[in-house]
Chain A
Amino acid sequence: MYKIIKKERLTEDKDRFYIKAPLIAEKARAGQFVVIRINEEGERIPLTIADYDRKNGIISIVSMRVGKTTTLLSGLKQGDSIQDVVGPLGNASEIKNFGKVICIGGGVGIATMFPITRELKRAGNYIISIIGARSRDLLILKEEMKNVSDELYICSDDGSQGYHGFVSGFLKEYLDKDLSGRTDKEISIARVVAIGPAQMMAAVAEVTRPYGIKTIVSLNSIMVDGTGMCGACRVEVGGKTKFVCVDGPEFDAHQVNFDLLLSRQKIYCNDEGVCFDLYKHKCKLPYNN
């Protein structure tokens, strides 16, 4: 059992949990994830390690309420425990001094982006962060991101804060401006790292492709064990089948088959609805929850 030391409600649908897991905290690096299971009947779901405190043996995760498992998780309080937490899994982010790096986070993906941004900043990069959410009330980790960025831009789908539109739209304008301002016609951005919903990452990949900027995405596919044993998380990268859990989670965005990723993410959509409805029925939760 893994004890929840502290819980913070970030927005109405997102929570941050600080979990006692000393061995995981000791080894965790930016970009890695854990697989959790809430209880005996629970499924195993991957969640990115949002941060780690080696000294106190604590990791943090950020979860958005979507289906049954994340709703159950969201119902846990400080002092409660999670049945299973296993990790750190996957490969860590490549952290080097690349020069100017654009760090893009969308929705709950900002939580994943944060430790990577911080490490890139520590490595000496000039950080331009672009974070976005559907609406200003749903935006998370704004202050944290600001503290590790040289420039921070905010986007909202509904225009309630910052740029009115998607992060990919803002990115396009930013890159165009950067390029038109340069006499050598060489883009000054060395790398883009984008983490968020698959559609967002696909859109970012299309924006950066013509500029030839190396673009890294962290893929969020369905997993079971998270150790390369089952192949549930397989994706196509550069025409080859890869396992997100052991070969990733980060890949070259320009090589990723996002259509396949999106399609495979929907395998259990109906089933998840059935399971969640049953749960809501049992708990007499309102159906519009």
Chain B
Amino acid sequence: MAFKKTLIASSLVLAGSLSSIASVQAQEFPLYGDDPLVDQQWHLKNTGQTAFSKSGGIAGNDLDIDFAHAMGIKGRGITVSVIDTGLETDHPDLSPNVVAGSINFLEGDIGYPVDNHGHGTAVGGLIAAEDNNKIGGRGVAPDANLIGFNYLFAQDDTNWLLSHGVSADWRALDRFTDPRVFNQSYGWTPNSPLKHNYSADPSLEMNDTVMQDVSLDSHWGRGATYVKSAGNSFQRYNTNLFGIRFQVLPRENNNYYDNNGLPFHNANVTHTNTNFWNLVISATDANGKVASYSSVGSNVFFAAPAGEFGSDSPAMVTTDLSGCDQGSNVLGNTRNGLHGGNELDPNCDYQGTMNGTSSAAPNTAGAIAVVMSANPGLSARTVRDLLVKTARKTDPDNSGVDLAFENADGDMVSYNAIPGWQTNAAGYHFHQYYGLGAVNVDGAVQKALFTSASLPKLQITDWQQTIANVAVPDASVVGVETKATTNDDVTIEAVQVKLNLDHQRIRDLSIELISPSGTRSVLMSARTGFLSLGGTGYEDSMLMSTHFYGESSKGEWTLKVVDTDKGDSATILWDYGTNIYRVNNYNNLELGVVKDWSIRFYGHK
């Protein structure tokens, strides 16, 4: 094996050109080493294996990582933080990579971040389970360092700071901690738009400040990356009303869970997902298509493998809490063929049912660690840029969703509610489901090896407000447009819009942003499962899009709002018991009004 690696490396050096690297990188390499479960880890190398479920995926739909691993580029020197339910740091497949820095918030001490659930341990294994050690599988970055925090069981502002990159000694001048990648496989789904207002929510301002500083200034100016799961609410989500937990689901055409093919949740609803510092990740299955549960939206940066449920089709094969009496893999659990004491894992230290955007995020976090390790001198933003430049157009034939509805005049009309793959004016592909594409580690590593300069300094333009006060016609595919011209000229990395819009049933609305180059991005898709009823609509609500990546910000921007429903389709609230309520089933009595909107750009000169 060592001979092969040397041969490959030598041939690359001798060839000495980007094209010859590309040629080698395009070849297929085995995942060298002795890890008994690695053959079932389809996210690393998808051969159509079943991952101990009843069916397999489609070969090739993976992270494209075999070349990097064959070259020995596996995350060495990069520390990844698992901010989660905890991390079983003495798990035999994790302990070799665990370094100092973990905190057990439950008992208030440095060291062992006890994981009473198993989610964080599964996440940690996806990132950096050790390779070639004759047990289990391996992580995306098996040479990376790991630390963990059981923040999800001890959430407060103090613990947020300590787990998100700030050191404990608050009097110290240098507050930044070691991780260059922070994985956040958590979130929530608000049932109505949130206000993005620092005065009302100083905690939000503190968090944004920390994330900006760590992202740009830590590690001697090279920065770090926060990776965030988009959410698991494509079909339904949970909400709490007066202390009672409900499932919220659509009901169209007399069918539950029918939302005319449209996502029920948009990742832009969750305000931490509209933060530029969070790299928001959607989930794909083993066929390369959007996972059945994955939240999607214009703020999604990339898509990454996560799988389905591990019973009928593949989920993730990763670390589990040790032993057959805890975690997901326990005796008697036969949901997945690995569970219950498989000969490849007789001690039940691994599982085959991990999924969710909780898996897509750590697979991306590991990918970033690998690319960073290929060229540690690059800034975190540059690594992100290289991943954009190399992202793969997964599910390439996905044509989006056309929504048919009866307009105000009684005619049936069709509205392109979710566009298929588009190409923006800078040549980047994007899709509401997949952001700028599927993560392609080998492509990004190849570019990182031959990139000597980081992106220019990040520019954040001032908010530019447009007073609109225009009515939104009910049930009209024409909609209403309001325009703003900006003289700021930056090469866009992301665009944020802050919106004030009155409407009594905002789930009817689709909100689009159209760039000076004509690129159309759906910021909020129609029929999103908001519960507003007689509410005020959007009030200082933040929406973000990555779809204009690489375009110029200068010129005329158009915000378009389309009302897609005059009927009585409904949203359902179910209390997981015997109570089912119908809401949102009356059309708005008054026309909606776009009051004002503001726009700002993140990018570089």
A and B bind:
no
Seen from chain B, the residues whose Cβ lies within 8 Å of a Cβ on chain A are: none
